[in-house]
Amino acid sequence: MRIALVILAAGKGTRMNSDLPKVLHPIGQAPMLAHAMQSGAALDPAHTVIVAGHGADQVARAAQQIDDTAQVVIQEEQLGTAHAVEQARPALQGFGGDVVVLYGDTPFVRAETLERMVEARKAHDLVILGFHAADPARYGRLVMAGDRLERIVEFKDATDEERAITFCNSGLLAGNSELLLDLIAQVGNDNASGEYYLTDVVALARARGLSVTAIACDEAETLGVNSRADLAAAEAVFQARARAELLETGITMTAPDTVHLAFDTVIGRDTVIEPNVVFGPGVTVESGATIRAFSHLEGCHVSRGAVVGPYARLRPGAELAEDTRIGNFVEIKNAQIDQGAKVNHLSYIGDARVGAASNIGAGTITCNYDGVMKHHTEIGQGAFIGSNTMLVAPVTVGDGAMTASGSVITRDVEPEALAVARAKQENKPGHARKLFEMLKARKEKRSGGNG
């Protein structure tokens, strides 16, 4: 069965108290919306339709960045969830397959759960995703008769008896697109909120003698975000899930609760992550690497056997080959560090390549920015860059070359040459003693000779 996703994301999110549309607030450094879209992507949808309203331009831009085939439709006024799905009607014209409705602010629904919904659809005309709520609060209640769903009643419209039901509506639903749009056309707004409730399609379908069921998912999957507190809680859920998945796949974390992961962090087996490591987006770490404490990585690749940190910062475009060493207070940006090369202490390597087995001394800086443009530094294989070398880019240091400590390298260094670019040292015999004596005499005079 071909699937179309309709993702509701028009709501204002008043309680977020934000200029940013709610569905664009990040969890695991990806917009909430991306999480819903990613779960939905497991159904291999023929269409993905995002219903945007508040901040529609921003939402549309973000949606297309996540999936450039996504269509965005606008719900000018938020008149309810049925009215929201109604906006997808033109996009679904002539589609004929199944629609799965998701919420943009419900990021945790699992792909397997959506697959179960699609599976249940084979035996029923409509499938609702429900959950057994520890605290049913203001969720819509599912009124069941055996395994059949009779209707959904919104909290505001529910009797005390109905409010006692703990099987609740997640909001997600699956059904044939034509049937669903046909039912939606029948939905009115004569209820406690004056809104067009999507939930009303259940009773309408039952009145036509159609079969409707509700399947249950874990309550954690239905966690919605309405406030910054919810967002923080959702972040914690995301982190817990992501850490558990990594531990499961054979990664060692000595203090998992202190490791922060991004939605797309990829780490190979037998890699060790020490405490307080932060992964920004776009990080891949191969098997058997070690990321030591207090390191911050984003947009980078770390190969097998590399050791990073403690206190290292890998910025976008940092590419570490096998068995490289990046030590404390070292920043690497847009630079390829070839096999076995070492940058162990207090350095900045940006817009550069460091050849295999080269050693970069403490305090080395690639002076890559002239205030207007960025320039490249090329260091060959087996080179030795002395401590506190300034490499004023563009500049090349050849294979097997050396720079003397404290050098300011402004011209290329040919292979195997030693570049010394610092003021010559001069020693003046006895001058230190004389200077000390002079200074001490001056101090005594100032303090009036009494100590």
* Tokens 């390829």 -> residue: 336
- Is residue 78 part of the contact set for ligand UD1 (CB under 6 A)? yes
CB 227, min distance to ligand UD1, A: 12
CB nearer to ligand UD1: give 25 or 83.
83
CB 195, min distance to ligand UD1, A: 6
Q: Enumerate residues 285-304 that contact ligand UD1 by CB under 6 A.
A: none
CB nearer to ligand UD1: give 154 or 286.
154
- Is residue 169 part of the contact set for ligand UD1 (CB under 6 A)? yes
- Give the distance from CA 247 to its chain's centroid: 19
Torsional sign, CA 293, 296, 302, 308: negative
Angle 55-60-65 from CA coordinates, rounded to 5°: 130
Distance CA 176, CA 155 (A): 27
Binding mask 39-68 for ligand UD1 (x = CB under 6 A): ------------x-x---------------
Distance CA 251, CA 286 (A): 11
Distance CA 135, CA 155 (A): 13
Distance CA 370, CA 393 (A): 9
How far apart, in Å, are the Cα atoms of 371 and each of 315, 366, 374?
20, 14, 8
Is the peptide bond between 394 and the residue preceding it cis, with omega within 30 degrees of 0? Answer: yes
CB nearer to ligand UD1: give 133 or 293.
133
Contacting residue, 29, 199, 334, 359, with ligand UD1 by CB under 6 A: 199
Residue 87, amino acid: Q
Structure tokens at 64: 């297309």
**Binding segment toward ligand UD1, per CB under 6 A, in 66-74, 97-105, 425-433, 440-448:** 97-105
CB nearer to ligand UD1: give 32 or 320.
32
Binding mask 206-235 for ligand UD1 (x = CB under 6 A): ------------------x-----------
Question: Choosing from 54, 345, 375, 376, which is the catalytic residue?
Answer: 345
Neighbours of 330 (CB within 10 A): 25
CB 101, min distance to ligand UD1, A: 9
Contacting residue, 39, 81, 303, 389, with ligand UD1 by CB under 6 A: 81
- How many residues would you count in the chain? 451
Active site residue 83: no
CB 242, min distance to ligand UD1, A: 23
Under a CB-based contact definition with an 8 Å cutoff, are residues 423 and 408 in contact?
no
- Is residue 11 part of the contact set for ligand UD1 (CB under 6 A)? yes
Contacting residue, 41, 42, 74, 79, with ligand UD1 by CB under 6 A: 79
CB 65, min distance to ligand UD1, A: 20
CB 359, min distance to ligand UD1, A: 55
Contacting residue, 139, 238, 279, 384, with ligand UD1 by CB under 6 A: 139
Structure tokens at 426: 């001069």
CB 248, min distance to ligand UD1, A: 29
CB nearer to ligand UD1: give 81 or 366.
81
Long-range CB pairs of 433-441 (<8 Å, 24+ gap) are none
How far apart, in Å, are the Cα atoms of 173 and each of 5, 99, 192, 384, 440?
10, 8, 22, 63, 87
Q: Is 374 helix (H, G, I), strand (E, B) or coil?
A: strand
- Is residue 204 part of the contact set for ligand UD1 (CB under 6 A)? no
Long-range CB pairs of 257-266 (<8 Å, 24+ gap) are 261/28, 262/28, 262/29, 262/30, 262/298, 263/27, 263/28, 263/29, 263/30, 263/34, 263/35, 263/38, 263/238, 264/30
CB 80, min distance to ligand UD1, A: 5
CB nearer to ligand UD1: give 9 or 174.
9
**Binding segment toward ligand UD1, per CB under 6 A, in 79-87, 113-121, 252-260, 287-295:** 79-87
- Is residue 28 part of the contact set for ligand UD1 (CB under 6 A)? no
Catalytic residues: 345
Which positions touch ligand UD1 (CB under 6 A)? Answer: 8-11, 51, 53, 75, 78-81, 83-84, 103-105, 139-140, 152, 154, 168-171, 197-199, 224
